[in-house]
Structure 1
Amino acid sequence: MDPVEQKSTPSPALVDLAVAYGISPDHWGFHGEKKYAAEHTLVAVLDALGVDASSPERIDVALASVADREWRRMLPPTVVATAGRATELPVHVTDGLEVEVWVELEDGAGERVLGQLDVYTEPHVVDGRAIGRAVFELPEDLPLGWHEVRARTADGQSRATLVVTPARLEVPADLAERQAWGLMAQLYSVRSRQSWGVGDFADLADLGWLAGRSLDADFLLINPVAAAEPTTPMTPSPYLPVSRRFVNPIYLRVEDIRETAYLSAADRSLIEWSADGVREMSTDPGPIDRDASWEAKKSALRVVFGAPRSAARETAFQEFRRSQGRGLEDFATWCALTDHFQGGPWPDGADDVTSDVVKELRAELSDEIDFYCWLQWVADVQLEQAQRAALDGGMSIGVMHDLAVGVHPSGADAWALAGVLANGIGVGAPPDMYNQQGQNWSQPPWHPEELARTGYAAYRDLLRTVLRHAGALRIDHVIGLFRLWWIPQGQGADEGVYVRYDHDALIGILCLEAQRAGAIVIGEDLGVFEPWVRDYLTERGVLGTSVLWFEKEQDGLPARPESFRPLSLTTVTTHDLPPSAGYLAGEHVEIRERLGLLTEPVHTVRQAAKEERDQMVAALSDLGLVGIEPSERELVEALHRYVRMTPAVLLGVSLADAVGERRAQNQPGTDQEYPNWKVPLGDSIGNVVLLEDLLDNARLRSLARVMNG
């Protein structure tokens, strides 16, 4: 063995320590081969978890500490139970002491005293003290919700968050009996003549209403509309937000904010002047210029913010602010600081949200903080209006929001939630067939232990905010709630390691908050994953995701329609592939070849793409969905007839497919090399398709007829 390789092989003790902290020292690659983590990777990931594994001696100390960890706590940091099932609760106290344990129910709904079970465990000595374990039972009839479990002995008392989650998130009864379909759109790309160069929440409301009323669609899935930088340049990717909880105000329609109607003539002129400079960009077929749109819109929004609000509107704003609590104040503070320092260095101490420096800056920038809180309020109002419009148009679900995997490493969440995020780590994905070099999304992951220690409060608050005005929620890379591919800073995407999470807690809390919001949950479960994960999600009522091109039989041929999962959102394509017309033409190969992303000879990949296309056309032909030499449009419609034949409860249709677009919205593995997330909605030859013209589009109406049977 090469000396360098030998040096990088982890010791058995290091492997044991990694496993104790939920780190998988090995994994199965996409092609079925077993891969092992290097020593430096395990050491770096343990360091991010707060564990020093820099020498054999320190590894031994850490192993001894982890063995005693649960015995040092009277109660677990957070207890997650499932409604309808009794749960054992271990309580650790000085051996021989009596202990009382009870539950204080949510919202002061009363208390429940817990009974002790007849379970004996040998005492464990920690720091010279014998610790005993008493086991209590959380009864199966505890109500759903966020409670507190408390324990008391002569030595003192302890408390922990108790979350009682539903066993299963049920699909609404009407959807269990029929197949529902909807459109999938990148909101920024769907512009109207009134847009300020970027699709907005007014466009969302109109698209939802029109799709429900005129196309009989049941839902409208959009890209994440989570917050981006408050200054330019703005990160174009909706999957790299500065905060997943809060909203990007670039999607606001300024004219729809009530106070705009009552501005003075001079202030109205300022609004119109700002709009005139960017509104014409809505008909430009070139890449979307978010920076120009945001600069114009931000200037106008400051004018509207300065206008007086009625007593009722001001009360509503303040109530919203109180309801969102410290999370909103911290987010608005980060925005104000970012705006104030304009890309320059922050003063010492300002990187700590709790510091005296930040406290002083909060006071100094209070007006700016008010402005950024107000932006979130008016965005919340417009999102509520969009969901209402979709339902009024006849949609049974309405807006389906999308939750990104993580956040920008230098963003608001990374600043405000630093205590529950792992530092020096980016998350991504190991190499697979479509991304042969792996992916590093650069986002800091949740710190598993800190998340539990804080009662999952940050995760809960995130879900509550995103679900406020959602009929459904798509979770991007839902496998991340089970395990995430952690990549230490400075290492390649293929040098990562999987870190496991308490999926019972994360999925359970997701189901609880979705049930309370009346929303469906869809997990994007593509890529490398363990087979049991899909079964688990199905048991919990979380729908999966099936993409036609990715579903294969064991012989590699396209999966038969009847073999698709019933509890899924099934689509022909996804935003990480070219629209169907482009995919059929091999655009996914040509783009990667042009950008140098292939690790195999291009002729090999082209041949594989041709075989994949031919096999799909043969499958369509076998079912009588196409004739001899079908046209592009006939093939696209046949692909959608194919998914209609599946038992999937939800079917998604890309709006880009519906109008004949060929350009991909995103090319994974690229940054500036491709105009990711900047492609406006266009037809087969690149002409802009505006919202007002959608219902006159023959391809769209024809495809809607296909979906309506």
Structure 2
Amino acid sequence: MSKDQPTPDETPADAPDQVPDKATDQVTDVVTDEGPDDPRLPSAELRELASAHGVLTEHHTFGGAAAAAPAATLVAVLEALGVPAATPQQVTHSLQRARDDEWRAVLPPTVVVRQGDDASLPVHVTDGASVHVWLEVDGAEPGVRTHSHRPRRDLEQVDVFTEPRTVDGRSVGRATFAVPSDLPLGWHSLHALTEGHETRSALVVTPRRLELPAGLEGDQWWGVLAQLYSVRSGASWGIGDLADLADLAWLTAHRSGADFVAVNPLSATEPVTPVTPSPYLPTSRRFLSPLYVRVEDIPETAYLAAADRSLVEWAADPVRDLVTDPGPIDRDAVWDAKKAALEVVFTAPRRAARQAAYEEFTSEQGSGLRDFATWCAIVEHLGRAPRPDELGDPASPAVAALREQLAERVEFYTWLQWVADEQKQTAQRVAREAGMRVGIVHDLAVGVHPQGADAWLHRDVLARGVGVGAPPDMYNQQGQDWSQPPWSPRALARAGYAPYRDMLRTALRHAGGLRVDHVLGLFRLWWVPSGTSPADGAYVRYDHEALVGILCLEAHRAGAIVVGEDLGVFEPWVREYLADRGVLGTSVLWFEKDDDGRPLPAEDYRPLTLATVGTHDMPPAAGFLAGEHVDLRERLGLLTDDAQEVRRQARAERDSAVLALAMRGLVSDHPSEREIVEGLHLFLRRSPALLVGVQLVDAVGERRAQNQPGTDTEYPNWKVPLGDGAGNVVLVDDLFDNARLRSLLQAVREAR
């Protein structure tokens, strides 16, 4: 990606919290320098049409000022939503259709309610016609085993009179039915029968609140945060893997009492090189990257013939020495090596029980897994050749024919997901057996690569011609375009939220928790039309009650906690809403300030949060304290202000933090860097935050950032191996030989 298209975790959502002055983005008094006939400003009808489809025509900027979306932006965003708006005639026609849209459907596309709530269901039929409405309990989950005769409940009509409406030349009436408040959590199937025609829809009952694990309420648990690819062991193939994750969890639980290990997204990457380095730009958010598989831990590897075992060992030879190489991680070399070895292990026969487990996994994952594996096989088959148009639709005859032709490769990529899933399960089991009360917390990226598997598989529910991004702010004055296709809100609802649900289920498999990157995207996203400046985007609203509710439902079923990265520009009620639903927020020490810009007192932190010193988009604490982030940004030409002034501000921020620590007796009069780093974490332990995270880079004294926002090739983003203050590689095997790590973790453990 170019430096003007940073990955989504480079967003100002990771910048200091800024809240607009008003409680809503919608503003009425937009001050501009343009006259009333300025063609760049939308007409009243265009604004009404945009609002009808959840597109905000105005918003507050980072500083709180009001800004209007250009007319061209609204037209492009509406077109991406499937709403013609290029001419005044189209706007008028689309607006009329929007007014009648819900009256055209017998049932809403999806109904999402909270358990225990009284809710009503509008049903639209020919005026005067009778209708019978019922639901089948737990009957809308493909791939989930249910009894052949599911419980059925008829719904009762309630006396709510609504004037009929003429829609497309037909008189349509509305009947209202009561949704029972005693329905169990889950996915149910709605049915309506009128004039001999049956219509179906999904009814999702979500928890009122995602309950916290027993013992966490009123307590504070802590854990370690790591970028897994950087955390290698002597047995790694040049990149941290799922076996390293299991070892990291066991060691930190047994030797320091940690309750969780949180890692970067382990989502699927390309099946061929070059491999995109950013874990926040996956090809699929549902499936896993086989880069993280430990080849030797696949049971069939132990039973390979001598010749085949030699092939595996030879494949590993070129990358074994990379484990101790302090230079950038070479994912391409690692994947070439692992892929060659995995192809050998794939051919090994499996025991009957193992084969049955594999078949059960593929059956459970259903057509989604088969289609993903098909995409991988096709990408591999095409190589660098462009994809023909006939292969653009997963359901096309051309794709079906190629799937059959590439059946063995499709099977290989299906099998890779199974072995990755098994090793993910092992890591969580080891973590819990070691005493962790949460275990592994996985990460869900905000979006996917525009040419990736999900963009292909979900072409009907992802908007085209736009990318997700961020409006201008104090750090990125031009705004940001991450070029990731967003969910189309209404298309996703029409799909019964199944793609979203299936993605969550895989992310939550074998997980103690899930961090949702840019959780504010479940409420609204900044859409940037292709070919335009990120500053000329517009916010599009989502049905947050549905998206957050389904997230809570699937987390409840998985027995997992959810942490939402809720930093940046937001509406004030959003954090309260998430807390009410049981979704933890995020507090970053460097960003938590009082009204005068001083460090926020520890006791004033929000309780329902994961509190950390920094983020992976910032230098580790040691580098930040030394101002190395300013030096790096100056070298890379990223500073827009005078370098000396930026350094002065950085020193003032450091001094202010040290003073806050000293006032609490957490550091001495002339503290060392190590003492300050420990003091910062002890400060967090004095907060009411339910979770406190220690970044592994802070524990070993690393100074280099994992990611430098605003860069691509200028900095080795997402390629920095775990190292100490001198840049020497620190392996999993040697973690607790590091005196700095032992001291920090002991201090954190004994703080409460």
Alignment match, 2:185: 144
Alignment pair present for 1:24 and 2:24: no
| DSSP-derived class of the 2:216 partner | helix
Alignment pair present for 1:455 and 2:496: yes
How far apart, CA to CA, are the structure 1 residues paired with 2:676 and 2:431? 30
Aligned AA for 1:9? L
Alignment pair present for 1:295 and 2:336: yes
Alignment match, 2:646: 605
Aligned AA for 2:462? L
| Structure 1 residue 570 displacement after superposition | 0.6
Aligned AA for 1:213? H
Alignment match, 1:56: 88
Aligned AA for 1:14? L
Asked if structure 2 preserves the Cα contact closer than 8 Å seen for 1:122 and 1:132, the reply is yes
Change (3 A) 1:388 1:306: same
Give 1:118's match in structure 2, choosing from 151, 159, 170: 159
Give 2:124's match in structure 1, choosing from 58, 73, 92: 92
Asked if structure 2 preserves the Cα contact closer than 8 Å seen for 1:187 and 1:222, the reply is yes
Give 1:377's match in structure 2, choosing from 396, 418, 421: 418
How far apart, CA to CA, are the structure 1 residues paired with 2:635 and 2:49? 44
Which one is further off, 64-73 or 424-433?
A: 424-433
Aligned AA for 2:124? H
Show CA shifts across 1:405-461 (max 9, x none).
Answer: 010000000011111100111112222334343222211100101100010000111
Aligned AA for 1:126? V
Asked if structure 2 preserves the Cα contact closer than 8 Å seen for 1:185 and 1:656, the reply is yes
Alignment pair present for 1:425 and 2:457: no
Show CA shifts across 1:569-601 (max 9, x none).
Answer: 011111010001111112222222222223333
| DSSP-derived class of the 1:214 partner | helix
Report the TM-score when normalising by structure 2. 0.93
How far apart, CA to CA, are the structure 2 residues paired with 1:437 and 1:183? 35
Alignment match, 1:677: 718
Alignment match, 2:666: 625
Which aligned pairs between 1:581-660 and structure 2 lie closer than 5 A? 581-660=622-701
How far apart, CA to CA, are the structure 2 residues paired with 1:354 and 1:548? 49
Alignment match, 1:569: 610
Aligned AA for 2:201? A
Which one is further off, 96-105 or 597-606?
A: 597-606
How far apart, CA to CA, are the structure 2 residues paired with 1:368 and 1:253? 20
Alignment match, 1:501: 542
Which one is further off, 5-14 or 696-705?
A: 5-14
Alignment pair present for 1:687 and 2:728: yes
Asked if structure 2 preserves the Cα contact closer than 8 Å seen for 1:98 and 1:153, the reply is yes
Which one is further off, 50-59 or 181-190?
A: 50-59
| DSSP-derived class of the 2:355 partner | helix
| Structure 1 residue 207 displacement after superposition | 0.5
Give 1:210's match in structure 2, choosing from 251, 260, 282: 251
How far apart, CA to CA, are the structure 2 residues paired with 1:483 and 1:408? 19
Alignment match, 2:40: 8
Alignment pair present for 1:191 and 2:232: yes
| DSSP-derived class of the 1:135 partner | strand
Give 1:390's match in structure 2, choosing from 409, 418, 431: 431
Which one is further off, 330-339 or 599-608?
A: 599-608
Give 2:449's match in structure 1, choosing from 408, 412, 423: 408
How far apart, CA to CA, are the structure 2 residues paired with 1:35 and 1:348? 40
Aligned AA for 2:557? R
| DSSP-derived class of the 1:173 partner | coil
Structure 1, unmatched stretches of 5+, are: none
Show CA shifts across 1:610-667 (max 9, x none).
Answer: 2221211121122111222211101100100110010011000000000000100011
Asked if structure 2 preserves the Cα contact closer than 8 Å seen for 1:196 and 1:281, the reply is yes
Show CA shifts across 1:122-177 (max 9, x none).
Answer: 11111222211111111110111000111122252311101000000010121114
Alignment pair present for 1:256 and 2:288: no
| Structure 1 residue 671 displacement after superposition | 1.3
Asked if structure 2 preserves the Cα contact closer than 8 Å seen for 1:432 and 1:528, the reply is no
Aligned AA for 1:508? G
Asked if structure 2 preserves the Cα contact closer than 8 Å seen for 1:28 and 1:35, the reply is yes
Show CA shifts across 1:522-575 (max 9, x none).
Answer: 000011111110000000000000001111111111111111111110111110
How far apart, CA to CA, are the structure 2 residues paired with 1:530 and 1:155? 47
How far apart, CA to CA, are the structure 1 residues paired with 2:309 and 2:347? 12
Structure 2, unmatched stretches of 5+, are: 1-32, 139-145
Asked if structure 2 preserves the Cα contact closer than 8 Å seen for 1:144 and 1:512, the reply is yes
How far apart, CA to CA, are the structure 1 residues paired with 2:196 and 2:66? 50
How far apart, CA to CA, are the structure 1 residues paired with 2:676 and 2:347? 54
Asked if structure 2 preserves the Cα contact closer than 8 Å seen for 1:432 and 1:527, the reply is no
| Structure 1 residue 248 displacement after superposition | 0.4
Alignment pair present for 1:475 and 2:516: yes
How far apart, CA to CA, are the structure 2 residues paired with 1:268 and 1:94? 70
How far apart, CA to CA, are the structure 2 residues paired with 1:634 and 1:550? 21
Aligned AA for 1:513? E
Aligned AA for 2:118? A
Show CA shifts across 1:243-270 (max 9, x none).
Answer: 0000000111000101110111111111
| Structure 1 residue 7 displacement after superposition | 2.3
Aligned residues: 709
How far apart, CA to CA, are the structure 1 residues paired with 2:37 and 2:398? 47
Aligned AA for 1:527? G
Structure 1 residue runs of 4+, over 2 Å off?
1-7, 154-157, 431-439, 587-608
Give 1:464's match in structure 2, choosing from 502, 505, 530: 505
Give 1:43's match in structure 2, choosing from 48, 66, 75: 75
Asked if structure 2 preserves the Cα contact closer than 8 Å seen for 1:23 and 1:497, the reply is yes
Alignment match, 1:345: 386
Cα RMSD for the two superposed structures: 1.3
Greater relative contact order: 1 or 2 (C-alpha under 8 angstroms, separation 6 or more)?
Answer: 2
Which one is further off, 622-631 or 536-545?
A: 622-631
How far apart, CA to CA, are the structure 2 residues paired with 1:190 and 1:436? 34
| DSSP-derived class of the 1:182 partner | strand
| DSSP-derived class of the 1:176 partner | coil
Which one is further off, 551-560 or 594-603?
A: 594-603
| DSSP-derived class of the 1:174 partner | coil
Alignment match, 1:702: 743
| DSSP-derived class of the 1:639 partner | helix
How far apart, CA to CA, are the structure 1 residues paired with 2:311 and 2:744? 43
How far apart, CA to CA, are the structure 2 residues paired with 1:273 and 1:487? 47
How far apart, CA to CA, are the structure 2 residues paired with 1:394 and 1:34? 51
Show CA shifts across 1:191-213 (max 9, x none).
Answer: 00110000001101111111111
| DSSP-derived class of the 2:39 partner | helix
Which one is further off, 145-154 or 570-579?
A: 145-154
Show CA shifts across 1:223-278 (max 9, x none).
Answer: 00000001000000000000000000011100010111011111111111111210
| DSSP-derived class of the 1:418 partner | coil
